[in-house]
Amino acid sequence: MPNSKQAKKRLRQSFVRRDRNRAKKTRLRHSIRKVREAVAAGNLQQAQELAQLTQKLLDRSASQRVIHRNKAARLKARIAHLIVSHKQSGQQASVAG
């Protein structure tokens, strides 16, 4: 338990920041999940639009240090790879079928 006035203020600030960061991380996870669900459903057009929004969120979260910038880059690469691989598999299936 903080004793000094300064320590009490820092505790209040940390609670506020923790709540903000939790909300941002939750929004980020939901956005990533929506992209993956759109790809799984075969809706690549919607997945691309959601991926752009998700990449924007990832960049913003990294710049605000909610997540590490390398984690943001890794997640962006995985989302892009997921969409590209499903596009290619869809084209091969249409050519083969």
CB 72 within 8 A of CB 58: yes
Give the whole-angstrom CA distance, residue 66 versus residue 58.
Answer: 9
What homologous superfamily does CATH list for 5-96? Answer: Ribosomal protein S20 (1.20.58.110)
Any idea which of 18-27, 34-43, 67-76, 87-96 has the lowest mean pLDDT?
87-96
Give the whole-angstrom CA distance, residue 67 versus residue 55.
Answer: 13
pLDDT of the residue at 89 = 82
Over residues 38-75, the pLDDT tens digits come to 999 999 999 999 999 999 999 999 999 999 999 999 99
Q: What does the domain layout of the chain look like in residue ranges?
A: 5-96
CB 79 within 8 A of CB 55: yes
Query: What CA dihedral angle connects 67, 70, 73 and 75, to 10 degrees?
Result: -60
CB 45 within 8 A of CB 16: no
pTM of the predicted protein model: 0.83
